[in-house]
Structure 1
Amino acid sequence: MRGTDLERVHLIGIGGAGMSGVARILLARGAAVSGSDAKDSRTVLALRAQGARIAVGGHDGAHLEQLDGPPTVVVSSAIRKDNPELVAAHERGLTVLHRSDALAALMSGRRVACVTGTAGKTSTTSMLTVALQHCGLDPSFAIGGDLTAAGSGAHHGTGDIFVAEADESDGSFLRFSPEVAVVTNVEVDHLDHFGSPAEYAGAFTKFLARIVPGGALVTCVDDPGGERLAAEAEAAGIRVRRYGRTAPGSSGDALLLDHEPVGTGGRVRLRLGSGDEHVLELPVPGEHMALNALAALLAGIELGAPVAELLDGLAGFSGVRRRFEFKGRAGGVVVYDDYAHHPTKVAAALTAARQVAEGRLIVAFQPHLYSRTRAFHREFGAALALADEVVVLDVFGAREDPEPGVSGALVAESVPLPAERVHYVPRWSDVPEVLAKLAEPGDMVITMGAGDVTVLGPEVLTELGRGEEPGPAEDPAAPETPAP
Structure 2
Amino acid sequence: MENIAKNLKKVFFIGIGGTGMSALALFLLEDGKVISGSDKKESRSLLKLKQKGVDIYIGHDPANIADDVDVVVYSGAIPPDNCELVSAKKRNIPVLSRAQMLSKIIEQKFSVAVAGTHGKTTTTSMISKMLNDAGLDPSFLIGGELNDYGANARHGSGPYIVIEADESDGSFLNYNPNIAVITNIDFDHPSFFKDLKMVEEYFEKFMRGISKDGKLIVCGDHIINRKVAEKITDKEIIFYGFGDDNQVQCKNVILSGFGSCYDLYIYGKKIREVTLNVPGMHNVLNSLAAFSVAKIIGLDFVSACDSIASFSGVRRRFELKCKDPYIIDDYAHHPEEIKAVLNTARNIFKNKNLVLIFQPHRFSRTKKFLSSFCNVLTQTDVLVLFDIYPAGEKVLDPHLGNKLFEECKRRMKDNVFFVSKESIYELIQEIHNESNIYLFMGAGDITKICDKVVSIFLEIKKDQSKQVNDSNTSEFST
User: Which AA in structure 1 matches 2:330?
Assistant: D
Residue identity matched to 1:148:
N
Distance in 1 of aligned mates of 2:468 and 2:78: 47
- Structure 2 counterparts to residues 273-312 of structure 1, below 5 A: 273-312=267-306
What CA deviation, in whole Å up to 9, does each residue of 1:428-448 have, x standing for no partner?
A: 222232233223114210110
Mapping of residues 22-421 of structure 1, within 5 Å: 22-56=24-58, 58-65=59-66, 69-233=68-232, 235=233, 237-249=234-246, 253-329=247-323, 332-357=324-349, 359-404=352-397, 407-415=400-408, 417-421=411-415
Amino acid at match of 1:238: K
Residue ranges of structure 2 left out of the alignment (5+ in a row): 470-478
Give the deviation of 1:8 after TM superposition: 1.4
Q: Which amino acid aligns with 1:36?
A: S
Which residue pairs with 2:475 in the alignment? none
Deviations 1:183-216 (A, max 9, x none): 0010111121122221111000000121112221
**What is the one-letter code of the residue matched to 2:85?**
L
Shift of 1:412: 2.6
SS in structure 2 of the partner of residue 318 of structure 1 = coil
The whole-number CA distance in structure 2 between the counterparts of 1:451 and 1:212 is 35
Aligned equivalents of 1:88, 1:218: Cα separation in 2: 42
Query: What secondary structure does 2:151 align onto?
Result: coil
RMSD over aligned Cα, in angstroms? Answer: 2.2
Amino acid at match of 1:323: R
Deviations 1:328-364 (CA, angstroms, capped at 9, x unpaired): 24xx411110001111111111111122225211111
How far apart are the structure 2 equivalents of 1:225 and 1:470? Answer: 53
TM-score, normalised relative to structure 2: 0.92
CA contact (8 A) 2:248 2:266 kept: yes
Q: Give the Å deviation of 1:483.
A: 6.3
For residues 458 and 119 of structure 2, the distance between their equivalents in structure 1, rounded to whole angstroms, comes to 33
> How far is 1:238 from its partner?
0.7
Contact map agreement 1:467 1:483 (CA 8 A) in 2: no
Contact 1:374-1:406 at 8 Å conserved across structures? no
- CA separation in 1, counterparts of 2:152 and 2:335? 25
**Per-residue CA shift, 1:53-104, capped at 9, x if unaligned?**
1112x11111112xx6134111111112232222222232222111011111
**Equivalent residue number for residue 473 of structure 2:** none
Contact preservation (8 Å) 2:12, 2:69: no
Map of 2:421 onto structure 1: 428
User: In 1, distance between residues paired with 2:451 and 2:44?
Assistant: 16
Q: What is the CA–CA distance in structure 1 between the aligned matches of 2:195 and 2:4, rounded to whole Å?
A: 43
Q: Distance in 1 between matches of 2:288 and 2:192?
A: 30
Output the CA distance in 1 between the equivalents of 2:219 and 2:399.
34
Deviation at 1:300, TM superposition (A): 2.2
Q: 2:12, 2:388 → 1: CA distance?
A: 31
Is the CA contact 2:263–2:270 (under 8 Å) kept in the aligned structure 1? no
CA distance in 2, matches of 1:247, 1:20: 41
Greater mean alpha carbon deviation, residues 143-152 or residues 296-305: 296-305
Q: Counterpart amino acid of 1:59?
A: H
Q: Is the 8 A contact 1:433 1:463 kept in 2?
A: no
C-alpha distance in structure 2 between counterparts of 1:59 and 1:21, whole Å = 20
Q: Which has the larger radius of gyration?
A: 2
| 2:437 is equivalent to residue 444 of structure 1 | yes
Aligned residues with identical type, % of pairs: 36
SS in structure 2 at match of 1:232: coil
The DSSP-based 3-state class of the residue aligned with 2:143 is coil
Question: C-alpha separation between the residues in 2 aligned to 1:146 and 1:77?
Answer: 20
Between the aligned partners of 1:140 and 1:209, the Cα distance in structure 2 is: 24
| Cα distance in 2 for residues equivalent to 1:106 and 1:279 | 37
Q: Which sections of structure 1, spanning at least 5 residues, go unmatched?
A: 472-479
Return the alpha-carbon distance in structure 2 between the equivalents of residues 117 and 340 of structure 1. 14
> Tell me, what secondary structure is at the counterpart of 1:246?
coil
Structure 1 counterpart SS, 2:269: coil
Deviation at 1:406, TM superposition (A): 5.0
Instruction: Determine the C-alpha separation between the residues in 2 that align with 1:451 and 1:111.
Output: 33
Q: Is the 8 A contact 1:350 1:387 kept in 2?
A: yes
1 CA distance for matches of 2:358 and 2:261?
29
TM-score by length of 1: 0.91
**Aligned residue number for residue 461 of structure 1:** 454
Is this contact kept in 2: 1:243–1:294, CA < 8 A?
Answer: yes
Aligned AA (1:31): K
Structure 1 window deviating more from structure 2 (270-279 vs 346-355): it is 270-279
**Structure 2 letter corresponding to 1:337:** D
Q: For 1:483 and 1:13, how far apart are their aligned partners in 2?
A: 50
Query: Across the two proteins, how many residue pairs are aligned to each other?
Result: 465
Name the CA distance, whole Å, in 2 between partners of 1:449 and 1:369: 10
